[in-house]
Amino acid sequence: MTRWEPGARERLVLAAVDLFTEQGYDATTVAQIAERAGVTKSTFFRHFADKRELLVAGQDTLGQLLADGIAEAPGDASPLEAVAAGLERASSAMGPTNRDLGPRLKAAVAASAELQERDALKSVGLAAAMTTALVARGVPDPAAHLAGELGVLAFKRGYAEWSEGDRDADDQLAPYALAALAELRAASISLG
Q: Where in the chain are the domains?
A: 8-54, 58-190
Cβ atoms within 10 A of the Cβ of 3, count? Answer: 9
**Quick one: pLDDT at residue 1?**
47
Residues 14-43: tens digit of each pLDDT: 899 889 888 988 899 999 999 999 999 999
User: 58-190 in CATH: which number?
Assistant: 1.10.357.10
CATH level 2 (architecture), domain 8-54: Orthogonal Bundle (1.10)
Cβ atoms within 10 A of the Cβ of 66, count? Answer: 27
Which sign does the torsion angle of CA 146, 94, 119, 153 carry? positive
Separation in Å, CA 176 to CA 23, 24, 95:
31, 30, 14
* 8 Å CB contact between 84 and 175: no
* 8 Å CB contact between 117 and 123: no
Residue 129 pLDDT grade (very low, low, confident, very high; cuts 50, 70, 90) = very high
Angle at 141 between CA 137 and CA 142, to 5 degrees: 130
In the chain, DSSP finds a helix count (H) and a strand count (E) of 9, 0
* 8 Å CB contact between 83 and 147: yes
Q: What predicted TM-score, i.e. pTM, was given to this entire model?
A: 0.84
Half-sphere exposure of 181 (CA within 13 A, CB side): 24
**Quick one: pLDDT at residue 167?**
67
User: Is residue 184 exposed (0-12), middle (13-18) or buried (19+ Cβ within 10 Å)?
Assistant: middle
Residues 40-95: tens digit of each pLDDT: 999 999 999 988 888 777 788 899 999 999 999 999 999 999 999 999 999 998 88
Give the residue from 16, 24, 25 showing the smallest Cα distance to 47: 16
Alpha helices, DSSP H, located in 40-173: 41-47, 59-71, 79-91, 96-110, 113-136, 141-163
What amino acid occupies position 71? A
Output b/e per residue, 149-166; b: 16+ Cβ within 10 A. bbbbbbbbbbbebbbeee
